[in-house]
Every structure is written in C-alpha cells, then in structure tokens.
Amino acid sequence: MVQGLQRKLWVGLVAAAVYVLIAGWFGEFVGGLAARGDANAEFALGHFVPLTILIVGALVFVRWAGWSKEVWSSPSVIAERRRWWMLAIPALLAVQIAVGLVSVPWDAHAASTVLIVLAGTIMVGIGEELYFRGILRTAILGHHGEFLALLITSVAFGLGHTVKFLLLGMPIEALAFQIAFLAMDGALFYGALRATGTLWVPIALHALNDFQLYIHSGDVDGVNQQTFGEDP
C-alpha cells in the first residue's frame, strides 16, 4: 500500500466538495425514499446511509495517505505556548450546549426519535470534523500556515452548508450572513481543536450542538442549517 500522499490544498478541497455532494445532495435523495410523512425514516435514511459512506471513505483515505496523526490531533496551543485562555472556547461551547439540552421539552419527544437524532448527529459530528477540521486542515498545513488553515476551513464550512441556498436563489445579503455565521461556528470548532489538541473534542461538541438544535426545534425535518442539504 502506497502511503505518504503529499499534503496539498487541492486534495483537501476535493475531499470537502465530495462531502458536500454526498452528505447534501445524495443524502437528500436517499432521505426522499422514505414513506411520505415518516420523519424518522427520512432523517435516518438521509443521514445514516451517506454518512456511513463518507466516514468509512475518510478513514480509509486518511490511513492510505499516511495522515492519521495530523488529522486526529494537533499540537495544543496550551502545551506549546501556555495559552490557557483558549480553553474558554470549548468550555463556553459546552455550556451553551448544556443550557440548550436542559431547556429541551423531553416529554414532547418519542424515545425512538431522540435515539435516531442522536445517532445521526453523532455521525454528522464525526463526518464534518473529519473532512473540514481533519482532512482539509491537514492538507492546507502541508504548505501554508495556521491562520490560512483557520480561514479556509471556516469559510469552506460556511460555503458547504449554503451552496444549495445559492443555487436556489437566496438573496445575496442573506446568503452572506449565513456563510459568516456558519464560518464562525467552524472557527470555534477549530479553536476547540487547537486548545485541546484532539479532533475528538470538536467532534463531540459539534455532534451535541446539532443534537440539541434538532431536538429543541421539535421537528426532525426542520430547519437546521448545521447539517448539509437542509432547506432554508
């Protein structure tokens, strides 16, 4: 098996584009195969099928390319430079998520729905972080610095969630706001990675954030622009 693929920007961008296409467009197609009105089945099909393909594909690619260490971990800025204040990023995200979960009307949701959404959002957290803060970041850092990696991964994260809205003709002002808002989320997840040194922290935060947003909305089909392929 050939290993040691050179880390280049175009490799990461291709990987991110593949994620958007499969998670968004293919996921929407597969989800549409569910029986009309069965929100749980639509959510499950639209998430479990494409995300399984993407996660397995990413794991195989990362191992083949010899990028495992760089993708799954990053030198912590706390260990490197004693920037303890950066722990505030994952801590504040965790507090925000906890507040959201506490305020969820749990008795309004069937246990099956909660479990399906939890499983789906865990897969989203793993998939999106693997491709954006994992593969794309690693590819950029092969020839560029940390700031550019933060900028590109964050903007790509925002664009990836809104490309469908662009094609549907969303007004440019609203589109720019969505991209900026979601890019900010991407930057916070990047900060959580750099503060802790492990991709598992942004994966957990991302998954739980999406979970509480879905459950809080009370609508599995609903508007959650944290997930690729959802309608505005």
What digits encode the pLDDT tens for the residues 28-49? 999 999 999 899 999 999 999 9
Is 230 among the domain residues? Answer: no
Q: Which two tokens stand for residue 104?
A: 């969820």
Is 1 among the domain residues? Answer: no
Is 226 among the domain residues? Answer: no
Going by C-alpha positions, the residue among 189, 126, 132 that lies closest to residue 160 is 132
How confident is the model at residue 188, as a pLDDT? 97
What digits encode the pLDDT tens for the residues 169-201? 788 888 899 999 999 999 999 999 999 999 999
Is 21 among the domain residues? Answer: yes
Is 94 among the domain residues? Answer: yes
Is 174 among the domain residues? Answer: yes
How confident is the model at residue 15, as a pLDDT? 98
Residue 207 lies in domain: 9-217
Is 139 among the domain residues? Answer: yes
Provide CB contacts within 8 A for 226, sequence distance 6+.
124, 161, 182, 185, 209, 210, 213
pLDDT confidence tier of residue 217, bands split at 50, 70 and 90:
confident
Is 161 among the domain residues? Answer: yes
The count of domains in the chain is: 1
